């Protein structure tokens, strides 16, 4: 069981870097529009004038800000995409493992109320498999 949980955490650990890289890629691919995520380019916003800065420095900082915002959204999207996948890999691995067959049969045969009642009584999976 620990092996499959470790595998799940291993897959989940890839979600943030993949999401951030995807966010940076999206920011790079939309650099001509000067737009932020979920917002179209605003004609009233002048990216060449940012506070006291102007010209090239303002444009560079505008794109850095866009890259950070896209990376944050990409990181969240990576979590939403890979975490359910990691949980499914863990569940399928547990169900196909011959050593876990007894535990899976017992836990699969319990309805939700009986499972919560047994877990509240402090029964472990080893005790459940011996019954």
**Residues 44 and 90 occupy one common structural domain:** yes
Helix (H, G, I), strand (E, B) or coil at 124: coil
Distance CA 13, CA 50 (A): 36
Residue pair 93/7 in contact (Cβ under 8 Å)? The answer is: yes
How large is the C-alpha radius of gyration of the chain?
24
**Residues 109 and 63 occupy one common structural domain:** no
pLDDT tens-digit readout, 49-83: 777 777 888 888 888 999 999 999 999 999 999 99
Residue 47 scores a pLDDT above 90: no
For residue 50, list its beta bridge partners: 53
Kindly report the pTM of this predicted structure: 0.66
Q: How many domains does the chain have?
A: 2
Average pLDDT estimate for 105-127: 61
Average pLDDT estimate for 27-42: 82
**Residues 61 and 105 occupy one common structural domain:** no
**Residues 58 and 28 occupy one common structural domain:** yes
**Residues 81 and 109 occupy one common structural domain:** no
**Residue 23 pLDDT level (bands cut at 50, 70, 90):** very high
Instruction: Write down the pLDDT at residue 4.
Output: 85
- Nearest Cα neighbor of 76 from 37, 129, 33 is 37
Instruction: Write down the pLDDT at residue 55.
Output: 81
**Residue 40 pLDDT level (bands cut at 50, 70, 90):** confident
């Amino acid at each position: 069981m620990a092996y499959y949980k470790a595998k799940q955490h291993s897959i989940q650990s890839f979600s943030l870097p993949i999401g951030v890289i995807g966010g940076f890629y999206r920011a790079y691919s939309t650099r001509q529009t000067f737009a932020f995520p979920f917002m179209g380019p605003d004609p009233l916003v002048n990216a060449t004038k940012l506070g006291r800065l102007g010209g090239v420095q303002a444009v560079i900082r505008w794109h850095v800000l866009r890259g950070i915002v896209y990376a944050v959204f990409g990181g969240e999207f990576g979590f939403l995409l890979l975490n359910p996948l990691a949980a499914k890999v863990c569940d399928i691995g547990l169900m196909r493992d011959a050593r876990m067959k007894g535990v899976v049969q017992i836990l699969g045969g319990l309805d939700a109320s009986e499972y919560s009642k047994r877990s509240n009584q402090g029964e472990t999976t080893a005790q459940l498999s011996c019954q």
